[in-house]
Amino acid sequence: MDDQLQSNEIPPLKGEAVFIAGLGVISAIGNNVAESLNALTSGNAGIEAMKHLNSIHKEELPVAEVKLTNEALADLAQLPSRISRTALLSTVAAKEALDNSGIDITRWRTGFISANSVGGMDKTEDFFEDFLQNPNAGHLRSVVNHECGAVTEITADALGIKDFVTTVSTACSSSANSIFLGARLIRQNRLDVVIAGGADALTRFTLNGFNTLMILDNQYCQPFDDNRRGLNLGEGAGYVVLVSEKVAATLAEAPSVTISGWANANDAHHQTASSPEGKGNLLAMKGALQKAGLQPADIDYINLHGTGTNNNDIAEGTAIKTLFDGNYPSMSSTKSFTGHTLGASGGIEAVFSALAIQEGVIFPNLRFDTPMKELPFRPVTELQKTAVKNVMSNSFGFGGNCSSLVFSKYIAR
């Protein structure tokens, strides 16, 4: 493993850049990019008591729910409210991203790569409850979109994308993996435009599963704090519109952000835990830097995976300590705002990373009080306004599936 970590086998990207031409997001802190940016810069978190999810844990486990009902989301998405909440969230954010880009996708080879981990489970749960009472009750339309790919297909149809449509489901690294798959397809001249990211809705199945693992916090989470207790689950969707240089040259406003590096690694340590040494985390971060042709000192901000669990934060922190070795960039976990949105987190945090570069801001790590005794650094606790050229965004999932993305400010050659 040491030899592998010290190797430099991943060549930096050369040739055409892959630009971010549009952003779209919905989460507990806002129904669009503008609302989300306002919440991030004003320090307004979206975590609170459950309102929409019908759970026996409603009074004891805070969550970060999107504030809209399914009916309100359906109006925004222009879809029937009977479809899954995941598909509604996905369509709202993906439409915003495409609209923000101003691109006529009929002119280009366009793909939609979307991630999720829950599929249409929310509707399946409702069906199953009725079915247990009466095997002849319930609507089968509630279960036909149960699997993860159905969510992607609903949104792709709503966007009118048919050239390439696929789904990624690798737990909490899902959206990050969908984004760099899109970047690779553009680099390989397979596609011109890719809307990439992911979505996930809260369900009882998810909440109960994480509660069984005993990693949920019954208070508001405190990522990277020495007294952290666990994570708060959230929901939402986030997408970026990736374009080639050829497409970027046709846009009315030249894009200012590229995805410059990416890597995925797997330490295969445990089904639901990262290795304490952060081996997979380190491989992913180092690989993303190498792909971008950057040194650790070039990173201005790390958007931490930062869930607030004991295992995640020590694994990620140890890997950062090893890689950055005393030259630590500013860093924070925006999950302190949005909760952990699981399959959507990489997409949502990619949007936040691009905003950090565009707006020249570094977002605070809310509710941080006590530095972790194992780490020589601490996250940012107040909004910083500063030039941001390179951002690393980490997404580490169950089974050791670790991904890191690097976003960079574009400087014309």
Residue for token pair 């749960």:
125
Beta carbons of 116 and 149 less than 8 angstroms apart: no
User: Residue 172 catalytic?
Assistant: yes
Catalytic: 146? no
Catalytic (active site) residue 305: yes
Percent helix, strand, coil in the chain, to 5, is 40, 20, 40
Residue 69 backbone dihedrals phi, psi, to 5 degrees: -75, 170
Among residues 148, 221, 269, 340, the one annotated as catalytic is 340
How does 250-264 read in b/e, with b if 16+ C-beta sit within 10 Å? Answer: eeeeebebbbbbbbb
Task: Calculate Rg over the CA atoms of the chain.
Answer: 20
Residue 183 CA to its chain's centroid (Å): 16
Contacts of 362 (CB under 8 A, 6+ apart): 300, 301, 330, 332, 356, 380, 383, 384, 386, 388
Contact 236, 344 (CB under 8 A): yes
Q: Kindly name the residue from 148, 172, 221, 402 that is annotated as catalytic.
A: 172
Q: Which of 309, 305, 281 is nearest to 395 (CA)?
A: 305
Query: Under a CB-based contact definition with an 8 Å cutoff, are residues 29 and 36 in contact?
Result: yes
For β-strands 330-332 and 361-362, DSSP reports them as unpaired
Q: Are 299 and 305 in contact (CB under 8 A)?
A: no
Q: What is the DSSP code string of 131-145?
A: HHH-TT-S-GGGTTT
Alpha-carbon span 110 to 121, nearest angstrom: 28
Structure tokens that stand for 59 in this block: 């009074």
Distance (Å, whole) CA 5 – CA 287:
9
| Distance from C-alpha of 155 to C-alpha of 90, rounded to nearest angstrom | 7
Out of 148, 269, 305, 402, the active site residue is: 305
| Residues in the chain, total | 413
Give CA–CA dist 173/349, Å, rounded: 11
Q: Give me the active site residues, please.
A: 172, 305, 340
